[in-house]
Structure 1
Amino acid sequence: MALKPPLSDLPIKTANAGFYRGFSVDVTVASKIIISVLVVWCIFWPTQSGRVLSDLNSVILANAAGWYIWTVAFFIIICLGLAIWPTAGRMNLGVEGEKPEFSNFSWFSMMFGAGIGVGMLTWAVAEPVAHFGSNPETIQGLTTGGAADNVRMAYKWSFLHWGLGAWACYAVCGLSLAFFSYRRGLPLTIRSALTPLFGKALSGKLGHVIDIVAVVATILGVAQTLGFGVEQFVAGLTRIGIGGLVYEDGGATFVGIIVALLVIMGASTLSALSGVGKGIKWLSNINMVLSIFLLGFFILFGATWFGASAMFLGLIDYLLALPQMSFNVWKSDGVEGSEAFLLAQWQGWWPVFYWAWWIAFAPFVGLFLARISRGRSIREFVLGAMIVPSLMCFVWFAWAGGTAIDLELNGGANGVIFDAANGDKIFAMTEFMLAPIADILAWGMAFLIVVLLMTFLVTSADSAVLIVNTINAAGDEGPKARPHILFWGAALGLVVAGLLLSGGTSAIQTAMVIGALPFSIVMVLMCISLIKAIYNDGRREAAGIPATMEPDATAAE
Structure 2
Amino acid sequence: MPSPSDKRISPPLVDLPIRTASKGFYDGFSREVTIPAKVIVSLLIMWAIFFPVSANETLTAANSTIISTFSGWYVYLVAFLMSACVVLAVIPQSGRLRIGMADEKPEFGRLSWFAMLFGAGIGIGVLTYSTGEPLAHFSNNPDIIRGLVASQSAEAVRSAYIYTFLHWGFAAWGTYALVGLSIGYVAYRRGLPLTIRSALAPLFGKAMSGPFGHLVDIVAVVATILGVAVTMGLGVEQFVAGLARLGLGDWLLDPDGSSSLPAVVLALVILVGASTLSALSGVGKGLKWLSNLNLGLSALLLLIFAIFGSLIFGLKTLGLGIFDYIRTLVPNTLTLFSKDAPFGAELVKWQLDWSVFYWAWWIAFAPFVGMFIARISRGRTIREYIFGVMLVPSLVCFVWMALVGGTAIDLELSGAAGGSIVNAEMSDQLFATLAVLLSPAFAQIAAGLIVILLLTYLVTSADSAILIVNTINGAGETEGDRRHHIIFWGAALAFVVGSMLVLGGIDAIRITMIIGALPFSFVLAAMGVGVVKAVMFDLIRKKQGVPTTSAAVADDVTAPQDTAR
Q: Point out 4+ residue stretches in structure 1 off by more than 4 angstroms.
A: none
Look up the match of 1:286: 293
Look up the match of 2:36: 30
Look up the match of 2:59: 53
Structure 2 residue 380 is the aligned partner of structure 1 residue 373 = no
Identity among equivalent pairs (%): 54
2:27 to 21, 28, 41: 21
Structure 2 residue 198 is the aligned partner of structure 1 residue 197 = no
Look up the match of 2:220: 214
Q: Do the aligned residues in 2 keep the contact of 1:83 with 1:382 (CA within 8 Å)?
A: yes
Look up the match of 1:534: 535
**How far is the alpha carbon of 1:274 from its aligned partner?**
2.2
SS of 1:226's partner is helix
**In the alignment, residue 414 of structure 2 is paired with which amino acid?**
N
- Of 359-368 and 94-103, more deviation after overlay is shown by 94-103
Look up the match of 1:432: 436
**In the alignment, residue 290 of structure 1 is paired with which amino acid?**
L
Structure 2 residue 523 is the aligned partner of structure 1 residue 517 = no
Q: Do the aligned residues in 2 keep the contact of 1:191 with 1:202 (CA within 8 Å)?
A: yes
**How far is the alpha carbon of 1:102 from its aligned partner?**
2.4
- Of 527-536 and 151-160, more deviation after overlay is shown by 527-536
**In the alignment, residue 423 of structure 1 is paired with which amino acid?**
S
The structure-2 alpha-carbon separation of the partners of 1:176 and 1:192, relative to structure 1 and needing over 3 Å to count, comes to: same
Q: Do the aligned residues in 1 keep the contact of 2:547 with 2:553 (CA within 8 Å)?
A: no
**How far is the alpha carbon of 1:482 from its aligned partner?**
1.4
SS of 2:551's partner is coil
Look up the match of 1:265: 272
Look up the match of 2:400: 396
Look up the match of 2:71: 65
1:417 to 421, 424, 432: 421
**How far is the alpha carbon of 1:120 from its aligned partner?**
1.5
**How far is the alpha carbon of 1:551 from its aligned partner?**
7.4
Q: 1:543 & 1:140 partners in 2: Cα distance?
A: 57
Look up the match of 2:563: none
What are the superposed Cα offsets for residues 141-161 of structure 1, whole Å, 9 maximum, x if unpaired? 011110111000110000000
2:347 to 339, 343, 348: 343
**How far is the alpha carbon of 1:479 from its aligned partner?**
4.4
Number of residues of Structure 1 aligned to a counterpart in Structure 2 = 547
Look up the match of 1:109: 115
What are the superposed Cα offsets for residues 286-319 of structure 1, whole Å, 9 maximum, x if unpaired? 2111100001111121001000011000111111
**How far is the alpha carbon of 1:282 from its aligned partner?**
2.3
Structure 2 residue 313 is the aligned partner of structure 1 residue 321 = no
What are the superposed Cα offsets for residues 21-64 of structure 1, whole Å, 9 maximum, x if unpaired? 00000100000000001000011111211111111110012110
- Of 532-541 and 483-492, more deviation after overlay is shown by 532-541
Look up the match of 1:136: 142
**In the alignment, residue 329 of structure 1 is paired with which amino acid?**
L
Look up the match of 1:490: 491
Q: 2:538 & 2:283 partners in 1: Cα distance?
A: 33
Q: Do the aligned residues in 2 keep the contact of 1:469 with 1:480 (CA within 8 Å)?
A: no
Look up the match of 1:97: 103
**In the alignment, residue 359 of structure 2 is paired with which amino acid?**
W
Q: Do the aligned residues in 2 keep the contact of 1:87 with 1:534 (CA within 8 Å)?
A: no
What are the superposed Cα offsets for residues 165-195 of structure 1, whole Å, 9 maximum, x if unpaired? 1101001100011100000000000000011
SS of 2:155's partner is helix
Q: Do the aligned residues in 2 keep the contact of 1:8 with 1:186 (CA within 8 Å)?
A: yes
SS of 1:55's partner is helix
Q: 1:171 & 1:276 partners in 2: Cα distance?
A: 19
The structure-2 alpha-carbon separation of the partners of 1:497 and 1:333, relative to structure 1 and needing over 3 Å to count, comes to: farther
**How far is the alpha carbon of 1:411 from its aligned partner?**
5.0
**How far is the alpha carbon of 1:380 from its aligned partner?**
1.2
Q: 2:314 & 2:452 partners in 1: Cα distance?
A: 25
- Of 408-417 and 348-357, more deviation after overlay is shown by 408-417
SS of 1:280's partner is helix
**In the alignment, residue 276 of structure 1 is paired with which amino acid?**
V
- Of 239-248 and 270-279, more deviation after overlay is shown by 270-279
Structure 2 residue 187 is the aligned partner of structure 1 residue 186 = no
Q: Do the aligned residues in 1 keep the contact of 2:470 with 2:482 (CA within 8 Å)?
A: no
Structure 2 residue 17 is the aligned partner of structure 1 residue 11 = yes
SS of 1:322's partner is helix
In the TM superposition, what are the counterparts of 1:233-244 in structure 2 within 5 Å?
A: 233-243=239-249, 244=251
Look up the match of 2:473: 472
Q: 1:113 & 1:431 partners in 2: Cα distance?
A: 26
**In the alignment, residue 258 of structure 2 is paired with which amino acid?**
G
Q: 1:178 & 1:110 partners in 2: Cα distance?
A: 16
Q: 2:283 & 2:481 partners in 1: Cα distance?
A: 12
Q: 1:28 & 1:393 partners in 2: Cα distance?
A: 35
SS of 1:142's partner is coil
Q: 1:480 & 1:223 partners in 2: Cα distance?
A: 25
SS of 1:147's partner is coil
Look up the match of 2:359: 355
In the TM superposition, what are the counterparts of 1:155-166 in structure 2 within 5 Å?
A: 155-166=161-172
Q: Do the aligned residues in 2 keep the contact of 1:215 with 1:471 (CA within 8 Å)?
A: yes
2:233 to 220, 227, 233: 227
SS of 2:60's partner is helix
Q: Do the aligned residues in 2 keep the contact of 1:96 with 1:551 (CA within 8 Å)?
A: no
Q: Do the aligned residues in 1 keep the contact of 2:179 with 2:370 (CA within 8 Å)?
A: yes
Structure 2 residue 120 is the aligned partner of structure 1 residue 119 = no
Look up the match of 2:311: 304
**How far is the alpha carbon of 1:396 from its aligned partner?**
0.2
Q: 1:281 & 1:389 partners in 2: Cα distance?
A: 17
What are the superposed Cα offsets for residues 292-348 of structure 1, whole Å, 9 maximum, x if unpaired? 0001111121001000011000111111111111111112359xxx82111100000
In the TM superposition, what are the counterparts of 1:236-255 in structure 2 within 5 Å?
A: 236-243=242-249, 244-255=251-262
SS of 1:369's partner is helix
**How far is the alpha carbon of 1:413 from its aligned partner?**
0.8
**How far is the alpha carbon of 1:459 from its aligned partner?**
0.8
**How far is the alpha carbon of 1:4 from its aligned partner?**
1.2
Look up the match of 2:337: 330
SS of 1:154's partner is helix
**RMSD (CA atoms):** 1.4
Q: 1:44 & 1:446 partners in 2: Cα distance?
A: 37
**In the alignment, residue 303 of structure 2 is paired with which amino acid?**
G
**In the alignment, residue 389 of structure 1 is paired with which amino acid?**
P
Task: Report the TM-score when normalising by structure 1.
Answer: 0.96
Look up the match of 2:50: 44
Q: Do the aligned residues in 1 keep the contact of 2:314 with 2:403 (CA within 8 Å)?
A: yes
1:256 to 256, 263, 271: 263
**How far is the alpha carbon of 1:552 from its aligned partner?**
12
**How far is the alpha carbon of 1:443 from its aligned partner?**
1.2
Q: 2:307 & 2:36 partners in 1: Cα distance?
A: 51
Look up the match of 2:4: none
**How far is the alpha carbon of 1:271 from its aligned partner?**
1.2
